Amino acid sequence: MFKKDDDIPDYIRTNDSYRNLESENRHIRSKYRRALLAYFILGLCNNFSFIALLTAATDIIRINLIEHEKPSTNHTRTEEPRACTGISSAIILLAEVLSATIFSFIIPFVPILVHFKILLCVVMTAVGYCFIASAERAIKLAMVGVVFISISCVMGEATLLQYTAYFHGNVISTWSAGTGVAGVFGALSYTLAAEKHYKYTMLGMISMPILTALTFWILLPVPTELDKQSVVIQRAFNEREVKTPWAILKKKSHLLPRALYKFIAPLGLVYFLAYYINQGLYELVVVDDKIIAEKVQYHWLQVAFHTGSFISRSSATCIYIRYIWIMTLFQLINAVVFTTTAIYWYIENYWVLLFLAVEEGLFAGAAYVNTFVKIGKEEPEEDKQFMSSMTCFGNNAGMVLAGSSAMLAHRLICKLPPPK
């Protein structure tokens, strides 16, 4: 009726009903903006730790195992047949995702209990960083810290993605953007800071779970009945979960086949291929470069991958890709290129490898964000929480297989003679 606020007559502006409506609209807009910002920060904090540990993988192994055993290794092509340490960085990936996968499968079947789960995530992350920072020549203690952090990451992801059902659908986009920033920020901040002091870098990362707590309990608005209609549906479903757990368990088990072929399989395969490359092949494609030293080339490839992931995860509001299998096909091509490069050394320019890592990240991030957008668009309200959580399980299961495959590929490639 009125195109602008200035077009509204004064006699309407002075009406009590209008003023109440205007105040209520401002409150709704404020809650909407707070939810968007909160989910961006929560996505950043939740994904930061996972990425930082993968970037630190070679350093964790070196400080706690390799330096202690002092193997005769060298990271140059000129003096050694292949740039092999004997222990793949995939061992850190496996430590992260094995425990995380078990928990990501259990969490969807557990009643929501959002506040308790978030508190547990905050405490476990902080304790995990303390364990890793204090570990020196103590690989078991470092691995316990890695497991603590990985469990908190997957629990936080599953819980917060379930909780998106209570807010506007755009919070998924800001969550994805936050996880994308976490990839770049986690990999880059560790790469730059760890050059000065590994231990204090790990202790400084305790700031991330603290920021998570402040964001969740202060910035994120509390869902009310004035929010989306899905609040009513989700609350009714959550109440039924507590009252009739076996009936709900049976219903959820019937949803598994649909979740598998629509969401779990395509996203899981994309991340299987991505982390097979990242943790099994990045450290084997070391080349001579005048700018990037060989000992940090692995770190910068991680930064490049997560830069690409950030770009695509932030594009959900602009580009929607319904067919996730397209990203799976392109990621398979990337896996072939990196595997053959690690074997035959036919890419000798490090900047080409950086470009390929960015492109690999683009497909991984696009698969992630479009999968959850697809769940929001195509699934019934009462099934969205379960579908989101089970998709997280598929994502982690793909990374478990990637860790095992990466360790095997690393071992086999290191045994091969250098190409002539």
pLDDT in tens, 179-220: 878 888 999 999 888 777 888 889 999 999 999 999 999 999
Nearest CA-CA partner of 162 in 129, 115, 122: 115
Task: Return the DSSP state at 72.
Answer: -
Q: At what angle do helices 90-106 and 16-55 cross, to 10 degrees?
A: 140
Q: What is the DSSP letter of 383?
A: H
Cβ-based burial of 60 (10 A; exposed 0-12, middle 13-18, buried ≥19): buried
Examine the pLDDT at 73 and tell me if it is beyond 50.
no
Per the confidence metrics, is the pTM higher than 0.85? Answer: no
Which CATH class for the 32-220+228-415 domain? mainly alpha
**What does the pLDDT look like over 13-50, one tens digit per residue?**
555 554 556 666 777 788 889 999 999 999 999 989 98
| Residues 266, 391: Cα–Cα separation, whole Å | 10
Q: State the amino acid at position 327 in one-letter form.
A: M
**pLDDT of the residue at 120:** 92
CA distance 39 to 179: 10
Output the 3-class SS for 188-244. HHHHHHCCCCHHHHHHHCCHHHHHHHHHHHHHCCCCCCCCCCHHHHHHHHHHHHHHC
Q: Give the Cα separation of 387 and 255 in Å (integer).
A: 8
Per-residue pLDDT for 86 more than 90?
no
Q: Is 84 helix (H, G, I), strand (E, B) or coil?
A: coil
Say whether pLDDT at 74 is over 60: no
CA dist 263 to 98, 258, 314, Å?
A: 20, 8, 20
How does the average pLDDT of the chain come out, rounded?
80
Distances (CA, A) of 262 to 31, 158, 256, 357, 371: 33, 18, 10, 27, 9
What three-state secondary structure class fits 399? helix
Rounded to whole angstroms, how far apart are CA atoms 155 and 259? 19
Task: Give 39's contacts (C-beta < 8 A, 6+ positions apart).
Answer: 160, 164, 167, 171, 172, 174, 175, 178, 220
Report, in angstroms and rounded to the nearest whole number, the Rg of the chain calculated over CA atoms.
23
Kindly report, residue by residue over 368-379, the tens digit of the pLDDT.
888 888 887 877
Distance CA 319, CA 257 (A): 27
Both tokens of 320, joined, read 């929607």
**Which tokens sit at 193?**
């800071």
pLDDT at 5: 53
The DSSP element (H or E) to which 142 belongs, if any, is helix 139-163
Helix count (H) and strand count (E) of the chain?
A: 17, 0
Instruction: Give the integer Cα–Cα distance in Å for 351 and 367.
Output: 25
- Half-sphere exposure of 412 toward its Cβ, with a 13 Å CA cutoff? 11
Tell me the average pLDDT across 267-284.
Answer: 90
Cβ atoms 322, 374 nearer than 8 A:
yes
Q: Which residues of 79-98 are buried (b: 16+ CB within 10 A; e: fewer)?
A: eeebbbbebbbbbbbbbbbb
- Which range among 94-103, 126-135, 264-273 shows the weakest confidence by mean pLDDT? 94-103
